[in-house]
Amino acid sequence: MDGDPALPAESARRLYRTMLTARLLDTEAVALQRQGVFPAYVSLRGQEAAQVGSAAAMDARRDFAFPTYREMAVALALGVDMAGYMASHRALWHGGLYDPMAARFAPVNAVVGGPVPHAVGWALGEKLAGRSGCAVSYFGDGASSEGDVHEAMNLAGVMGAPVVFVCQNNQWALSVPNERQIAGGSVAARAAGYGMPGVAVDGDDVAAVYTAVREALERARSGDGPSLVEALTYRAAPHSTSDDTSRYRDPDEERAWAERDPLPRARAALEAAGHADAAFFEQAEAECRAEAERIRDTVSAAPEPPGSDLFAHVYREPTEELARQRRVWQEEVA
């Protein structure tokens, strides 16, 4: 579905630029981890189309995204303060230093499958309140095997919750391949058991993802309940900066998927449709790189939070034990 007519020229150019910024920022983030600025980082390389295309289909005035720890490009596409987002990877603040309500992007969730029940709960709240917002829930192929995901999808199907489940099937649940953890070989096929439509889409085609998620959102908004979109893509990088893909992946597989890289495909679609020329791509490269470097420098220079924050947001009414721990901490840092 390269060059899908659902994407007007300006939209296609905008999505390409967002994908390119995400790719460049991702590269900077990996470098920051190698330099010791980030204690750890999870790369999204190869999944830019799945993330940007799905986020572009949302209505940022009323919908809400529920991410895992890998949806940096979704945050970027929704206009999240990216230095605030990256603060979570630098371990400055759990969930990030940005306003989730303003961004319509929930705090980063590192629990495998964790964002899915949250999305369903929020969507049910919208339905009960008579509002028209929809939740977009992100999870991976590995998370699809978690009980939380099954229970949340079943509840959404029973209650007709306005939620779109977006599974980024990047072929590997850390070091476990699809065939060893997805019975039947398809996440989308499970949707029928939850009473909702499921569709598998080329996750490396930004227009195809956009179209599939937009249709699912329209269905949810019209009162027809949830949908499942399985974006078939590939995790081009290791699972995290502490992972070593050479221990479990075939280099031939990696080379084959590299030919499907979403960035060159999006560029080829723009060129084939006559929507962009060499000057556009040169300018996009310069401006997107400058933005990635600006975010890198901003998060690197951000001050660390005061140590007292360890105790400030634990209980509404601090316990005697917490007060004791704070006194001990103060004595040690004095």
Domain range summary for the chain, segments of one domain joined by +: 9-303, 307-334
Element (H, E) at 168: strand 163-169
Predicted confidence band at 4 (pLDDT cuts at 50, 70, 90)?
A: very low
Using the predicted structure, report yes or no on whether residue 121 has a pLDDT greater than 70: yes
In this prediction, residues 171-194 reach a mean pLDDT of: 92
CATH number of 9-303: 3.40.50.970
- 111 three-class SS: coil
Q: Report the pLDDT value the prediction gives residue 229, as an integer from 0 to 100.
A: 98
Amino acid code (one letter) for 41: Y
Average confidence score pLDDT of the chain: 94
Q: Which of 179, 142, 145 is nearest to 42 (CA)?
A: 142
Phi, psi at 282, each rounded to 5°: -65, -45
300 burial (CB, 10 Å; 0-12 / 13-18 / 19+) is middle
pLDDT exceeding 70 applies to what percent of the chain?
98
The answer to whether 184 and 192 have CB atoms below 8 angstroms apart is no
- pLDDT tens per residue, range 51-107: 999 999 999 999 999 999 999 999 999 999 999 999 999 999 888 899 999 999 999
Q: Is 98 a catalytic residue?
A: no
Q: One of 235, 260, 267, 275 is an active-site residue; which one?
A: 235
Q: Is 249 a catalytic residue?
A: no
Amino acid code (one letter) for 319: T
Q: Report the pLDDT value the prediction gives residue 184, as an integer from 0 to 100.
A: 83
Q: Report the pLDDT value the prediction gives residue 2, as an integer from 0 to 100.
A: 43
Q: One of 131, 248, 294, 315 is an active-site residue; which one?
A: 248
User: Both tokens of residue 170?
Assistant: 């990047």
Q: One of 239, 260, 267, 296 is an active-site residue; which one?
A: 239
Phi, psi at 228, each rounded to 5°: -120, 125
Q: Is 219 a catalytic residue?
A: no
Q: Report the pLDDT value the prediction gives residue 93, as an integer from 0 to 100.
A: 85
- pLDDT tens per residue, range 263-307: 999 999 999 999 999 999 999 999 999 999 999 999 999 998 888
